[in-house]
Amino acid sequence: MEKTPCSCAPAEGRSFGMWEGKVKDFIPLADTYEIANRLAERYTQEEHEPPSRSLYRSWDKSLKVMADVLRGSGLDENDIILEYHLPGVSERPDVILTGRSQKTKKWTIVAIELKQ
């Protein structure tokens, strides 16, 4: 049986991130306001209030830059998780990228904290 990068799993119907998908799906959403809108919807569901305007702007600007970095990187099929919920703490890494190394075929996980 193949091992996955994390043996823990969120409860049924929940996810660890505020948005999850493939890099190829993330890029076009980040090019518009759509990814920031989706994060704002999820944030409002979880926190029972909308995100501040500065948080929304931060998502929009920094994730557009992240999309620019990923565009043409060859990572289209890799998974990306935004605002990853670390179990037991309130901090959330902005971006988690996961996938297999093209050379070794081993799982690779990269956590990215975006700064303005």
The answer as to whether 2 is a domain residue is no
pLDDT of residue 9: 44
Which residue shows structure tokens 């935004």? Answer: 82
Which residue shows structure tokens 């948005």? Answer: 19
* Confidence label for 13 from pLDDT (cuts 50, 70 and 90): low
Average of per-residue pLDDT across 3-30: 73
The answer as to whether 90 is a domain residue is yes
pLDDT of residue 15: 66
Rg of the chain in Å (alpha carbons)? 14
What value does the mean pLDDT of the chain take? 86
61 SS3 class: helix
86 SS3 class: coil
Decide which of 28 and 90 is more confident.
Answer: 28
The answer as to whether 10 is a domain residue is no
Q: Is the distance from CB of 43 to CB of 35 less than 8 angstroms?
A: no
The answer as to whether 12 is a domain residue is no
Decide which of 94 and 100 is more confident.
Answer: 94
Q: Report which residue type is found at 61.
A: K
Question: How many angstroms separate the CA atoms of 35 and 19, rounded?
Answer: 8
The answer as to whether 88 is a domain residue is yes
Q: Tokens at residue 15, please?
A: 């996810």
- Express each pLDDT in 27-76 by its tens digit: 999 999 999 999 999 999 989 999 999 999 999 999 999 999 999 988 99
Q: Which residue range(s) make up the domain with 41?
A: 19-112
* Confidence label for 90 from pLDDT (cuts 50, 70 and 90): confident
The answer as to whether 27 is a domain residue is yes
